[in-house]
Structure 1
Amino acid sequence: MLPITQVWKHNLGAEMSRLDRALFKYKVMSIDTEFPSSIRDTPRDGSETTRYKDLKFNVDVLERDTSFGAWEFNFYFDLAEDLCVFESVELLKKNGLDYDKHAREGIYMSGFTKIFTAVLAKHRDLFWATSHGLYDLAYIPGLITHCSIARFTSLLGTVFDRDVDVKYMTRFCEGLCGGELGLSKLANILRIEREGGAHLAGSDSLLTILAVAKVDKVTR
């Protein structure tokens, strides 16, 4: 199993350079985000416009913890200042998230956006893998702020023109509950071993890419 590299503001430049070099050879990018839940919940029967408005609101006001491949990028987050949901904060604490360290050593979004955008510009041929990943894709910095729903849809198609979602894939597989199951349960069914703790971005992104590979074999 691949190790998960923790990235903070002190090693952001060095690790982004490593990621940049790796993407010249490895063209599949698995992405997962962990954030302190959603401030605004969308009803199950909500319209596409309502879903987008809630998505935009939550992404714009919440900080996040994002990983790409086996890198986990830890962003600045201060419980005393930033919006959050108590139950989600406690869940992430139980799974090992150190909020004090995020406040001291977390990466500032402005610095990350600049360097990550430069890396992505070199690698337009990536294949993206997610698990129930609309929020994961929307959290790419700068993708959603000030966007209309039409512009957001267009940007998704441009930036992530090759994307597969394992939760959607499982709808078409026997024995996988019609896709109505979480990532950890899916991994158990597929007998995939997890590296690290659940509900941590690096661990979930690795699990996602392994699940995508295994489900792809089933659906072929």
Structure 2
Amino acid sequence: MIREFGFAEFLFILEGARWTVLLSLLAFTFGGAGGLAVALARTSKSKLLRRLMATYIQIFQGTPLLIQLFFVYFGLPLLGLKVDVWIAVTVGLSLHTSAFLGEIWRGSIEAVAPGQTEAARALGLGYVSLVKDVVLPQAFRIGLPATIGFLVNLVKGTALTALIGLTELTRSGQLMSNITFQPLQVYGAVGLVYFIICLPLTYFSATFEKRLNANR
């Protein structure tokens, strides 16, 4: 019997949205930690580190996210590492996130006025204090709009995990469309939920950027 798309079916889609939000937060958290390491390596004095991180970034920016997810999900078992689909997609999205955030934050660090670091060194601050107390707070303000913009793309990018079996928002929509045979209503609801998730982030990014420009 074909089911009609109604409130109960919409709740099923919202259940998938919960996993989309959780996956986005996990990937952004782990990827952000990796991205900070990438950004610091890209701005270090070590030529070798800079080249290694530049290659890392080019690999992840130059290949589709779906291929990266496939590589992690199907590649790790070939190395003898059997991983759950949740772990695979979290690792794949985190690596992808670290490359993009690393490049965003590298630009933000380099945008900090050179006089700031020169003054900090003149005061005798070590590298850790220089980065933690002088460079990163300013770089954070500069890079926040672009960071939030990437987070919006990350939320939408999680839809690709449906292709390897994770029942997130898009996959929930696919399942419900197969049950109800009402793809227009189902995917309209899925798109609406994505919009509701991403709109506050987009609004916050635009508002913060205007305030930042006003302060400048």
Q: TM-score range by the shorter chain?
A: under 0.3
Greater relative CO (CA pairs within 8 A, separation 6+): 2
Please report the TM-score for the alignment, with normalisation by the length of structure 1.
0.21
Please report the TM-score for the alignment, with normalisation by the length of structure 2.
0.21
Specify which structure has the higher proportion of strand: 1
Structure number with greater Rg is 2
Specify which structure has the higher proportion of helix: 2
